Amino acid sequence: MEVMDAARPVEEGVEVPQRSRRLRLRRPLTYAVMVLLAVFFVFPVVAMVVLSLQPDETQVIADQDSIWAFFPRALSLQNYEDVFARDVGRAVFNSALITVVTVGLGLVVNSMCAYGLARLQWIGRSVVIGAVVALMIVPFQSVSVPLLLIVNRLGWLDTYHVQIIPFVANPFFIFLFYQAFIGLPKEIEEAALIDGAGRWTIYRRIIAPLSRPTFATVGILQALFVWGSFFWPLMVTRGPDVRPLPVAMQVLFSDPNVPLGDVFAFAAVMTLPILALYLAFQKWFVQSVASQGLKG
């Protein structure tokens, strides 16, 4: 019963009088279900933060299966100090650098390609469009081993660029930009052409500002992907110098001598910046994820 009423679009919220009594009984139930679900989705994050603030390791272990996992008994940054003493700062810096550079280059390269495909007539254009669409289905994992061979020969192991350059161009992001650019009105562009503007100017001054939402969408999507990337860095980084956060986390977690409180502090360091960004730019996050629906 719950389900179908809700399936009605939001705008249809006006209640018909005879239904209202049933609804009045149902509302609290709906809220109860929703609150329970909310608890299910937030409890790990809350427990992570609370336990990371507990400096006493035996207390962390004792508290992690009790109600004290959710209510801080101690507010100490000791674990954070310990974790940063283990050079977590380096991993934070590495991940931030790799993410920022990849996303920055990616936005330019992918949107430029899409502009060329969407607005210019050139021989080979339709072949490139077909290739981009076909490449969308190739999973990275299936090309990873030969790619490892290539970067190994190039002497790129244990560098920043081995974690950046292969992920700049992305067929799916080109496709998202292409769809957005196709939908823009041509008139402004034609007027600018008559006024003597070059294509580069048009791309920078007209197309890019008009498609800011698409840039935000693609940027967030790529940033989430790069920030969480684990599989490839596991293969191409050995030492802590260029190691990104997820690999550093695995190293820390698999060391039995590292206290659990430190692991939780590290997890919080990795998660809280992204969650803060998510809360600040919710609309864009949700939109960027929803845009993946276009892929189908």
Partner 1 sequence: MATAIEPMSRDRLSDRRRRRGRELLQGWGFAAPAIVLLAVFLVLPFILAIYSSFTDQRLVPNPNLPTKWVGLRNYRRLFADEGFRSGLIFNGIFVFVVVPLQTAFALGLAVLVNQKLRFRNAFRTIYFAPVAVTMVVVAVMWTSFFNPSAGLVNTVLDTISFGFLTPERFGFLNWALDRHGARAAIIILSIWQGVGFQMVIYLAGLQSIPGSLYEAARIDGANPWQQFRHVTIPQLRNTTIFVVLSTTILAFALFDQVEIMTQGGPQDATQTMILRLITFGFRQGQVGMGSALGVFYFVLVVVVAFTQRRLLREERAVA
Binding to partner 1, residues 74-103 (CB under 8 A) = none
Q: How far is CA 156 from CA 150, 152, 185, 204, 279, in A?
A: 9, 6, 44, 33, 37
- Is residue 57 a contact residue for partner 1 (CB under 8 A)? no
Which one of residues 25, 75, 123, 194 is an interface residue with partner 1 (CB under 8 A)? 123
The residue within the footprint of partner 1, chosen from 17, 18, 75, 121 (CB under 8 A), is 121
Inter-axis angle of helices 125-135 and 88-119, nearest 10: 140
Q: Which of 96, 101, 169, 197 binds partner 1 (CB under 8 A)?
A: 169
The correct pick among 53, 103, 263, 265 for binding partner 1 (CB under 8 A) is: 263
138 binds partner 1 (CB under 8 A): yes
Q: Which of 174, 186, 183, 181 is nearest to 134 (CA)?
A: 174
Residue count (the chain): 296
Backbone phi, psi, residue 284, to 5°: -70, -40
What residues numbered 15-34 form the site for partner 1, per CB under 8 A? Answer: 27, 30-31, 33-34
Kindly tell me which residue out of 148, 206, 210, 216 binds partner 1, with binding defined by CB under 8 A. Answer: 148
Q: Taking contact as CB under 8 A, which single stretch among the options 84-92, 183-191, 209-217, 281-289 is the one that binds partner 1?
A: 281-289
Q: Of 85, 100, 182, 234, which one interacts with partner 1 (CB under 8 A)?
A: 234
**187 is an interface residue for partner 1 by CB under 8 A:** no
Of the two residues 90 and 116, which places its CB atom closer to partner 1 in the complex? 116
Among 64, 76, 78, 179, binds partner 1 (CB under 8 A): 64
Using rule CB under 8 A, residue 206 touches partner 1: no
Tokens of 138: 């190739």
Smallest gap from residue 6 Cβ to partner 1 (A): 4
Radius of gyration of the CA atoms of the chain, in A: 25
SS3 state of residue 1: coil
Q: Does 65 bind partner 1 (CB under 8 A)?
A: yes
Q: How many CB atoms lie within 10 A of CB 274?
A: 14
Q: How many residues bind partner 1 (CB under 8 A)?
A: 104
Phi-psi group of 87: left, alpha or beta (phi > 0 → left; psi -120 to 50 → alpha; rest → beta) = left
Does 38 participate in binding partner 1 (rule CB under 8 A)?
Answer: yes
Binding to partner 1 by residue 3, rule CB under 8 A? yes
Torsion of CA 38, 39, 45, 50, to 10 degrees: 140
The counts of H helices and E strands in the chain are: 17, 0
Question: Residue 109, interface with partner 1 (CB under 8 A)?
Answer: yes
Contact 181, 114 (CB under 8 A): yes
